[in-house]
């Protein structure tokens, strides 16, 4: 069953990818964002004013964007 949408339209695009695997041997399979497109992808554009650390459960201890909850 086909949804009528091309698989490449349902993927994330890359921007300034570096490191192993960053080479783009088949460009049509690795959509690239332009600088203008990438500029719109910010934490605020996705999360708005929501801050995960402010909404953490007290039972998890202190939670920061770079720490894991204690178990």
Instruction: Give pLDDT tens digits along the chain (71 positions).
Output: 566 777 667 667 889 888 888 888 877 778 889 999 999 988 888 888 887 776 666 665 555 555 555 55
Q: Dihedrals φ, ψ of 11, to 5°? A: -115, 160
pTM of the predicted structure, to 2 decimals: 0.50
Give the whole-angstrom CA distance, residue 69 versus residue 53. 11
**Dmax of the chain from CA atoms?**
48
Coil vs helix vs strand at 14: strand
What is the reported pLDDT for 62? 57
Residue 32 falls in which region: left (phi positive, over 0), alpha (psi -120 to 50) or beta: beta
> CA dist 12 to 28, 29, 38, 51, Å?
13, 11, 11, 23
């Amino acid at each position: 069953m086909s949804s009528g949408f091309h698989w490449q339209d349902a993927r994330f695009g890359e921007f300034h990818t570096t490191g192993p695997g960053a080479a783009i041997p088949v460009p049509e399979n690795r959509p690239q964002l332009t600088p203008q497109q990438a500029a719109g992808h910010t934490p605020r554009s996705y999360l708005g004013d929501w801050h995960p650390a402010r909404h953490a459960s007290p039972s998890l201890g202190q939670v920061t964007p770079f720490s894991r909850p204690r178990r």
